[in-house]
Amino acid sequence: MSAFYDEVQEIKAQYPDWRSATLPALRLAQEKHGYLSPDALRECAEALGTTPAFCESVASFYDMYHLRPVGRHLVEVCTNVSCALVGAQQVLEGFERELGIRAGETTGDGEVTLRTIECLGGCGWATIVAIDNKYRTHVMPDGVQAIVEGLRNGD
Amino acid sequence: MATEVREIVMADAGERDLTKLAEYEAIGGYQALQKARGMTPAAIIDELNASELRGRGGAFFPTWRKWSFVPKPDQNPNPHYLVVNADESEPGSFKDNEIMARVPHRFLEGCLITAHAVDSQNVFIYIRGEYTGPYEVLVGALEELHARADLRGDVTIVLHRGAGAYICGEETALLESLEGKRGQPRTKPPFPAVQGLYASPTVVNNVETMATVPPIITMGGAEYAQLGVPYSRGTRLVSLSGHVANGGNYEIENGVSLRDLIYDLGGGVPGGRQLKAVIPGGSSTSILRYDEIDVGYDFNSLLKLDTAMGSAGVIVLDDRCCMVQLGIRVNEFYEHESCGKCTPCREGTRWMTQILRRLEAGDAEQHELDLLLDVCDRINEKCLCPLGETAAITVASYVEKFREEFQTHIDEGGCPFGDSSPLHDVLAPVAQHTHQGWCQTPSLRGTAR
């Protein structure tokens, strides 16, 4: 059996019921496959001992699971109230310009997906941008170019 | 009197790196746990009763009473679970983020004391998936704890990561999610204390509540209750954001003036702008006008103004902000985060967006303002959880407090603020979330009124 299978078994053992391992298993499958492809869902279901349909029904509820391909890097700009008040939209537009795509799209080379996201829980340090799930705080429009260059250079 | 920071939960975190077990122990860390383990669960609950601590997640339920609901083994033989709600997602709140990142051991000590008080060997910390920073800190702290059998005792703590869903902050939705399902709220009763995680007795507590438990055990409940004001004892971590000079978290004694909070600690409204409004407890709470901020920042004082302290996320808005745009931005959040289980919330929040957008665009007719409030009424108290209701109550509060501004949108056939409002530009990308081609509001179908 695969390392993925073994890891899911270890996670299942932490809970009173195997089902609690669903969210962690989906995360692992996504990390392995890049997104929750039909293959990823099948592998996940096998390790959990359930059906791919159950896995997909759970995954489709949560924003952090991708049922369609995404770029190698994920740029998420918080546009909820607190960030919006201090200029999140200008930050977002900066990313759209630098990357040459609109929010919700992926660059042609498959490198970067850009999207808006609801409150990331860093309101006092706005604008918050999550780059591959790591928070950048106090992001200003004039700081966007350096972030994108960093992404392109593999920082 | 100048408003001062009063640190109990965050004590010593400015001077020391309390993410390290050795540093935390050097300031007396985990001694409250040793003290608590020498007490009976009933004695700990008495101490919490004396402290008058109420849940810091936003519902203000007395912590001791929640713990006391857990049935005795002869009443229910199932294991007891302690579940910590670290799914902080309320727009405007970011206190739990900082607590977990800076005082993880105080938080974990609180979990271990609580586990003892409610006779539980299994603690599950449900942390929101986006919080990778605090997650890594907690992983490190748990590794240190794991090596210390004297501290962790027979208790297992499991970190469980969410995956991006605001609704999972609702305790029964959180339990569903922790059971590996879609995060949809359950019907209550039964309450979690009777049938929670895997139908077993479960206590669900907020991160800040847990981090407040060790200092209460150390100083004694009666002394803790000396701080604050009636119904809101002790301290609270307040998150300041929006149009304030110094955004951030500030731990203050409950009951300080909201004005002082904004102007003393927050440094006031920047750029020479005037204050227009304040959202006092996260985006789920009703708005206050600029002339309503001479109020104590505590549960009772805010309740008298028909709003709430909620999760203590204070969002400050200056005079450039359009209240219709605010309504759209806030309401679209709830529309997006509605789990879809209850029809009034799922459909109502979308109808509200449509009406608000017509108001902003200048397409709304006079009766649509009443229709908006009517839709709000039809969501209130008709759902399993408060999500749709908070959208309805907050948007209705914008209309109530700034009715003349909504009226102007109708009279002038559009927005008087336009793109000078900082919330204006943000409307476009949010449209990613809206569903095209679904059923329309009654007014748009021309069947009502």
Question: Quick check: B356 and B328 in contact, CB under 8 A?
Answer: yes
**Tell me: the pLDDT tens digits for B307-352?**
999 999 999 999 999 999 999 999 999 999 999 999 999 999 999 9
pLDDT of residue B3: 74
pLDDT of residue B436: 36
Assess whether pLDDT exceeds 50 at residue B370. yes
Bigger pLDDT: B430 vs B180: B180
Could you give the percent of chain B with pLDDT greater than 70? 94
> Looking at domain A3-59, which CATH architecture does it have?
Orthogonal Bundle (1.10)
Tell me the three state secondary structure of residue B230: coil
Assess whether pLDDT exceeds 60 at residue A82. yes
For residues B243-256, give the mean pLDDT. Answer: 98
CATH superfamily of A73-152: Glutaredoxin (3.40.30.10)
Sketch the domain layout of chain A as residue ranges: 3-59, 73-152
Residue type, B368: E
Omega cis (within 30) before B386? no
- Of the candidates B210, B330, B225, the residue with the CA atom closest to the CA atom of residue B277: B330
Of B165, B248, B430, the CB nearest to A62: B165
**Tell me: the pLDDT tens digits for B267-283?**
999 999 999 999 999 99
- Cα separation, B362 vs B380, in Å, equals 27
- Cα separation, B282 vs B94, in Å, equals 10
B43 burial level (CB within 10 Å; 0-12, 13-18, 19+): exposed
pLDDT band of B38, cuts 50, 70, 90: very high
pLDDT of residue A154: 78
Residue B28 tokens read as 């007396």
Assess whether pLDDT exceeds 90 at residue A58. yes
CB–CB contacts below 8 A, A to B: 166
pLDDT of residue B66: 97
Sequence-distant (≥ 6) Cβ neighbours of residue A48 within 8 angstroms = A8, A12, A18, A19, A21, A22, A25, A55
A92 Cβ under 8 Å from any chain B Cβ: yes
pLDDT of residue B73: 81
Residue type, B58: G
pLDDT of residue B444: 38
Q: Which residues on chain A are in Cβ contact (under 8 Å) with B337?
A: 118
**Tell me: the pLDDT tens digits for B135-185?**
999 999 999 999 999 999 999 999 999 999 999 999 999 999 999 999 999
Q: Which residues on chain A are in Cβ contact (under 8 Å) with B283?
A: 80-81, 119
Assess whether pLDDT exceeds 80 at residue B449. no
Residues 117 to 146 of A: which have CB under 8 A from any B CB?
117-126, 130, 133-135
Q: Which residues on chain A are in Cβ contact (under 8 Å) with B426?
A: 79, 84, 88-89
pLDDT band of B200, cuts 50, 70, 90: very high
- Cα separation, B368 vs B428, in Å, equals 23
Which chain A residue shows the shortest CA-CA distance from B341? Answer: A61
Which DSSP symbol is given to B434? Answer: P
pLDDT band of A155, cuts 50, 70, 90: low
Q: Would you call A86 and B239 a contact, using CB atoms and an 8 Å cutoff?
A: no
pLDDT band of B189, cuts 50, 70, 90: very high
- Cα separation, B89 vs B128, in Å, equals 8
- Cα separation, B245 vs B249, in Å, equals 13
Question: Quick check: B48 and B213 in contact, CB under 8 A?
Answer: yes
Neighbours of B17 (CB within 10 A): 10
B64 pairs with which residues across the strands? none
pLDDT of residue B74: 87
pLDDT band of B72, cuts 50, 70, 90: confident
A109 Cβ under 8 Å from any chain B Cβ: no
The DSSP element (H or E) to which B60 belongs, if any, is: none
- Cα separation, B388 vs B344, in Å, equals 7
**Tell me: the pLDDT tens digits for A2-16?**
999 999 999 999 999
The DSSP element (H or E) to which B110 belongs, if any, is: helix B104-117
With b meaning 16 or more CB within 10 Å and e meaning fewer, what string describes B231-262? bbbbbbbbbbbbbbeebbbbbbbbbbbbbbbb
Neighbours of B419 (CB within 10 A): 10
Which chain A residue shows the shortest CA-CA distance from B247? Answer: A124
Assess whether pLDDT exceeds 60 at residue B429. no
For residues B57-81, give the mean pLDDT. Answer: 94
Bigger pLDDT: A113 vs B418: A113
The radius of gyration of chain A from alpha carbons, rounded to an integer in Å, stands at: 18
For residues A123-148, give the mean pLDDT. Answer: 97
Dihedral angle over CA of B426, B428, B429, B435, nearest 10: 130
Which chain A residue shows the shortest CA-CA distance from B240? Answer: A124
Using CA of residue B96, residue B97, residue B98, residue B99, what is the dihedral sign?
positive
pLDDT of residue A133: 95
- Cα separation, B343 vs B379, in Å, equals 9
Which chain A residue shows the shortest CA-CA distance from B80? Answer: A16
